[in-house]
């Protein structure tokens, strides 16, 4: 702090209480050192506290501030005093040697004690320790790791005591008159100015310290500093009014600037007088009212100009900021009414669209009822119809119903009420149920209208507008659960035999409290999405409504499937997430047969092949050929002797025997090979995890 680091006493290297003779001698000595471009090593400037650059000019300036008693008193409040040579000189020697901690310990032991439970208590101010209170205060205010609270309270404790006159007498002439209140105000005002100029972040702490203490000057000091933040706040309010009135389109910036720049002033004022003090509540309400007016003027101006910006949200943010400041009931009620009005205005486009579509639907349904009632009356009263001589042209009836509405006029109203910027406002509204109703009515109109191109175009545009999401998706995880939502093996790919309900858990970063409905599409490998007529929303597989807050880290989108068996076919599937008809996220998962399923299929094939081998006749064609040859041999042949025939038969029998043996050996080998394959498959099947 400048008031300590550049204190005149420090500049000349003296302690508070030094005599006029000591002062004259030290100043003359110091000037000689400066002229010789040297620095004295044995004075009381204590370099360990911080840098000090002395020149002839600043020494002269410091000397001049040590002439008048009033100046000397103000200066002495922020420098060390040798009030008790026995204890103080030991501490000063430590400071000269650069040992701040030892000096602090010397003074601290004199002014405070610690009980068995570790609680600290102030000792009474006596002639043995009164200078220790003052010196310990200065050291803790200036040192880097000092305790500001301790330093302030120690000096106030000293300045509140009757022994403070000893301090005054050591500094000023006996004719100089001052009292405790003046000394306390001088100390606090100088300290306040230093903190405000250099470390504004410490102001609330400083004022909090003072609020907890009782001392003679407290009321006068607090009263003196209260007016400053009030005046600063009121000046900022007037500046905001001027900006708002000169440019209503810039009113939101003016309101935001007022909220931001008055925050510290209001906090300071609140810490001084308390939250319930009239001075605080009055100026806080003034700020709140001005911010609200900025919100209202900005909204009205933007609405009149049909701005495409998100002005409703900006105005609402300002109104809610005003709400955080309001204290008085009148101000709170006004802000509450303003917020309610903004809510209504913000969703006016949505309300108007629903109202128009409902009006068209009601008119259509009324006309339909009346036309069908007339037709029914004809069926019941027209003799020719009753006798069957003529019939009702139902196609004409349906045409009459569809033509009972002036669709051209309806389309003109749709174009007027639902331009692109209004569709954007509807999409960004947080009224989820009303938006569902809007889409439901729009799709109804699409089905019924004889001139549906306009509503088709509106719906298509609406779908392409990105929704304003209250969260950001960071990542996702495919889940696999059973009917009771207990997790099943979440393998990659998912195995068909272990898959029941496939869901999606999304990790999110949320920025507000909200209720959101997320629609899901499960798209199979052939590109078609799954649905159930009884439970699926139109155009989607399923939906999940979630309540989120800034603390929400994940949203669990429950699974789709069947509790008894897997409904997902083999291949790559896709999950798409939609909000307000807009695709916000997509991911994929693969369904495949489990290793055990694949082994079972292979095993079944292997067993079938084993049966096939058992039923097979190996080398059948060779055997049949040999048997045919045998038949030919056994036939009568001219000029062939009996011995030759017998030899040929014998040879052919041997050939047939060899073929049969070969067939038997091949079959045996094939069976053994296939049995080994089967045993291997059974072993693999038994060992497989899935």
Domain ranges in the chain? 2-216, 222-346, 349-464, 471-592, 597-687
* Cα of 42 vs its chain's centroid, Å: 59
Intervals of the chain under pLDDT 70: 199-201
User: What is the C-alpha separation between 506 and 557, in angstroms, rounded?
Assistant: 8
Nearest by Cα to 133 from 163, 152, 111:
111
Yes or no: say if 344 and 314 are a contact pair by the CB < 8 Å rule.
no
Place of tokens 């109703």: 437
Strands 582-592 and 494-495 turn out to be: parallel
Q: What is the model's pLDDT at position 371?
A: 93
pLDDT at 200: 54
SS3 575: strand
CA-CA distance, 237 to 244, in Å (whole number)? Answer: 10
Torsion on CA atoms 50, 52, 58, 64, rounded to nearest 10 = 50
- The residue among 320, 324, 323, 309 whose CA lies nearest residue 250 is 309
Identify how many contiguous H helices and E strands the chain contains and give both numbers.
Answer: 28, 10
Give residue 480's Cα distance to chain centre.
28
CA distances from residue 241 to 20, 355, 465 in whole angstroms, order as listed: 58, 38, 37
Cα-Cα-Cα-Cα torsion 456, 457, 459, 460, nearest 10 degrees, comes to: 110
Pick the CATH number of 471-592 from 3.40.50.1000, 3.40.50.720, 2.60.40.10, 3.40.50.1370: 2.60.40.10
Please report the pLDDT score of residue 558 as a whole number: 87
Q: For all residues of the chain together, what is the average pLDDT?
A: 90
Gap between the Cα atoms of 384 and 469, Å rounded: 63
Q: Which residue has the tokens 């602090």?
A: 104
Instruction: Give 404: exposed, middle or buried? Use CB within 10 Å, 0-12, 13-18, 19+.
Output: middle
CB 268 within 8 A of CB 304: no
DSSP class of 661 = H
- The radius of gyration of the chain's CA atoms, rounded to the nearest angstrom, is 49
Tokens of 214: 């009782």
3 state SS of 587: strand
What is the 3 state secondary structure string of 377-408? HHHHHCHHHHHCCCCCCHHHHHHHHHCCCCHH
Euclidean distance between the first and the last CA atom of the chain, given in angstroms as a whole number = 74
440/259 Cα distance (integer angstroms): 42
Are the beta carbons of 105 and 134 closer than 8 angstroms? no
Q: Which of 656, 670, 659 is closest to 627 using CA atoms? A: 656
Environment class of 153 (CB within 10 Å of its CB; exposed 0-12, middle 13-18, buried 19+): buried
| Strands 494-495 and 120-122, bridge-based pairing | unpaired
Closest CA to 651 of 666, 635, 629: 629
Q: What is the pLDDT of residue 201?
A: 52
Euclidean distance between CA atoms 607 and 627, whole angstroms: 32
| CA angle 153–158–159, rounded 5-degree value | 95
């Amino acid at each position: 702090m400048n008031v300590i680091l550049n204190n005149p006493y420090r500049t000349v290297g003296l302690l508070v209480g030094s005599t006029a003779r000591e002062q004259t001698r030290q100043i003359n000595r110091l000037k000689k050192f400066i002229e010789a471009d040297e620095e004295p090593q044995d004075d009381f400037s204590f370099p360990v506290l911080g840098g000090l650059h002395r020149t002839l000019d600043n020494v002269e300036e410091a000397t001049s501030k040590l002439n008048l008693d009033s100046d000397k008193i103000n200066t002495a409040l922020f420098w060390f005093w040798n009030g008790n040579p026995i204890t103080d000189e030991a501490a000063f020697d430590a400071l000269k040697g650069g040992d701040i901690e030892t000096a602090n310990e010397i003074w601290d032991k004199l002014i405070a004690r610690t009980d068995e439970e570790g609680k600290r208590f102030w000792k009474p101010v006596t002639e043995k320790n009164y200078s220790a209170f003052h010196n310990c205060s200065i050291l803790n205010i200036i040192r880097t790791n000092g305790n500001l609270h301790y330093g302030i309270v120690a000096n106030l404790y000293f300045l509140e005591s009757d022994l403070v006159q000893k301090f005054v007498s050591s500094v000023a002439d006996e004719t100089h008159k001052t009292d405790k209140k003046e000394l306390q105000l001088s100390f606090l005002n100088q300290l306040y100015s230093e903190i405000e100029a250099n470390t504004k972040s410490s102001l609330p702490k400083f004022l909090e310290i003072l609020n907890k203490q009782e001392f003679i000057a407290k009321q006068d000091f607090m009263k003196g500093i209260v007016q400053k933040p009030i005046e600063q706040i009121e000046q900022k309010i007037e500046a905001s009014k001027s900006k708002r009135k000169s440019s209503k389109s810039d009113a939101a910036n003016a309101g935001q600037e007022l909220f931001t720049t008055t925050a510290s002033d209001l906090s300071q004022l609140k810490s001084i007088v308390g939250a319930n003090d009239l001075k605080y509540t009055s100026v806080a309400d003034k700020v709140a009212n001005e911010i609200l007016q900025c919100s209202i003027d900005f909204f009205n101006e933007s609405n009149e100009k049909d701005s495409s910006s998100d002005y409703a949200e900006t105005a609402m943010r300002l109104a809610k900021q005003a709400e955080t400041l309001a204290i008085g009931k009148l101000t709170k009620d006004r802000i509450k009414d303003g917020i309610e009005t903004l809510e209504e205005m913000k969703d006016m486009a949505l309300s108007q669209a629903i109202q128009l579509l409902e009006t068209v639907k009601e008119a259509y349904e009324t006309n339909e009822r009346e036309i069908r009632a007339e037709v029914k009356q004809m069926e019941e009263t027209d003799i020719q119809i009753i006798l069957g001589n003529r019939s009702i042209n139902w196609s004409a009836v349906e045409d009459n119903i569809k033509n009972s509405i002036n669709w051209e006029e309806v389309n003109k109203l749709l174009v007027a009420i639902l331009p692109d910027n209004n569709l954007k406002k509807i999409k960004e509204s947080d009224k989820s149920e009303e938006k569902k109703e809007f889409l439901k009515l729009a799709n109804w109109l699409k089905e019924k209208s004889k001139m549906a191109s306009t509503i088709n175009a509106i719906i298509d545009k609406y779908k392409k507008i990105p929704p304003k999401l209250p969260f950001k998706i960071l990542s996702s995880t495919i889940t696999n659960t059973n009917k009771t939502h207990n997790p099943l093996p979440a393998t990659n790919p998912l195995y068909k035999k272990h898959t029941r309900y496939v869901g999606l858990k999304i990790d999110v970063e949320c920025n507000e409290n909200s209720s959101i409905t997320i629609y899901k599409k499960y798209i199979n490998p052939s590109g078609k999405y799954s649905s159930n007529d009884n439970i699926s929303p139109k155009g989607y597989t399923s939906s999940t409504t979630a309540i989120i807050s800034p603390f929400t880290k994940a949203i669990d989108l429950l699974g789709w499937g069947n509790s008894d068996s897997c409904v997902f076919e083999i291949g790559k599937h896709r999950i798409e997430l939609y909000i307000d008809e807009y695709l916000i996220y997509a991911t994929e998962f693969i369904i495949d047969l489990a290793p055990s399923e694949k082994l079972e299929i292979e095993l079944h094939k292997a067993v079938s092949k084993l049966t096939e081998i058992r039923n097979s006749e190996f080398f059948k064609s060779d055997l049949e050929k040999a048997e045919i040859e045998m038949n030919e041999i056994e036939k009568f042949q001219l000029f062939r002797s009996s011995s030759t025939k017998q030899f040929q038969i014998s040879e052919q029998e041997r050939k047939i025997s060899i073929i049969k043996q070969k067939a038997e050996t091949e079959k045996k080998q094939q069976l053994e090979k296939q049995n080994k394959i089967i045993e291997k498959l059974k072993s693999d099947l038994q060992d497989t995890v899935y």
